[in-house]
Amino acid sequence: MNERIVCIKVGGKAASDGAALAALIAEMVRLAARYRFFLVHGGGAEVTRVSGLLGLTATFRDGVRMTSAPEMEVVDMVLAGKMNKAIVRQFQAAGVGAFGLSGSDGRLFSGEPIEAGSHTGRITAVDPKPLTTLMEAGYLPIVASTSMSAQGVALNINADEAAFALAAKLPADTLLFLSDIPGILDAEKRLIPHLSGDGVREAIAAGVISGGMIPKVESSLKALADGVAGIVIGQYLTDGDLERLLAGKAGSRITLEAQRKEG
């Protein structure tokens, strides 16, 4: 594969809004000669909604879903079933040969429970062959973040963690996180277009990067050290945003090298 590999972790409006996803797909089709894409998706909000309909209460600890055995059945149904196939169908309707799979398929990624009795897991191994085989055959993989342990126990893996692990293993040229924020913002809520490794650490120390963004940027630095060339955090709202994000004209790009000074 000579094209640059781009892993897109889809979240926010790009995942939940049909028009936004349709615009993203159309743009991916136009850029297919330059990039080889694959997608990773979660769907925690929909899991919580369906769990509620079934009388199950979602439990979180430090922002992490503590997945029970009954809720794991919902996670599999929603992520690897309903959501994955809905995204695959939308790509197929646009003429893209999409192929849906989860971490369990071909042992793309596998893991272990974060604690005894939990179905919330962390990744311990990645085999990129299912992805590379599909991409070499011309398919666009759509990856749901469910997986399994070595003993075959179903696991709910955080989609960000799956995206980091897959992008690092290939490695991907770019790992793009699409969300509902324009990127990393400074204290005055202005977009920070570029951060180096040192810049990330300084921003955390200064409190500019805080809360849930801290584990994402810290995981970004690890993925960069493992071979990903660049990580972009940004927003997809309309046609053209994908190319702007990949070209560094939108969003926040994290790289290992020092920030470039213009002028």
Average pLDDT in the 3-9 region?
A: 94
Question: Is 262 among the domain residues?
Answer: no
Among 44-48, 116-120, 256-260, where is mean pLDDT lowest?
Answer: 256-260
Least reliable range by pLDDT among 12-21, 35-44, 97-106, 138-147: 12-21
Structural domain for 211, as ranges:
4-254
Mean pLDDT of 50-59: 94
Q: Is the per-residue pLDDT at 263 higher than 50? A: no
Contacts of 59 (CB under 8 A, 6+ apart): 65, 66, 68
The Cα-based distances of 262 to 189, 194, 258, 259 in angstroms read: 21, 12, 13, 10
What is each CA distance from 112 to 118, 124, 128, 156, in whole angstroms? 9, 7, 18, 10
**Is pLDDT above 50 for 169?**
yes
Task: Answer whether residue 1 shows pLDDT above 60.
Answer: no
Mean of the per-residue pLDDT values for the chain? 92
259 in a domain, yes or no?
no
Tell me whether residue 260 is in a domain: no
Span 138-148, average pLDDT: 97
Within-domain flag for 261: no
Tell me the longest C-alpha to C-alpha distance in the chain.
Answer: 59
Return the pLDDT at 51.
94
pLDDT at res. 258: 61
Asked if the structure places residue 263 within a domain, the reply is: no
Domain count, the chain: 1
- Taking CB atoms within 8 Å and a gap of at least 24, the contacts of 81-89 are 82/46, 83/41, 83/43, 83/46, 83/144, 84/41, 84/142, 84/144, 87/10, 87/15, 87/21, 87/39, 87/41, 87/142, 88/142
Looking at residue 49, its pLDDT comes to: 93
Q: Please give the residue that has the higher pLDDT: either 119 or 213.
A: 119
| Res. 70 pLDDT band, cuts 50 70 90 | very high
Q: Look up residue 258 and give its DSSP letter.
A: P
**Pick from 111-115, 184-188, 251-255: least confident:** 184-188
pLDDT at 262: 44
The answer to whether position 102 is within a domain reads yes
pLDDT at 259 over 50: no
Q: Is the pLDDT of residue 257 over 90?
A: no
Burial of 257 (0-12, 13-18, 19+ CB in 10 A): exposed
Q: For position 98, which CATH number holds? A: 3.40.1160.10
The DSSP element (H or E) to which 144 belongs, if any, is: strand 140-144
Helices (H) and strands (E) in the chain, counts: 10, 14
**19 within a domain of the structure (yes/no):** yes
Q: State mean pLDDT over 40-64.
A: 92
Nearest partner of 256 among 189, 203, 205, 201, judged by Cα: 201
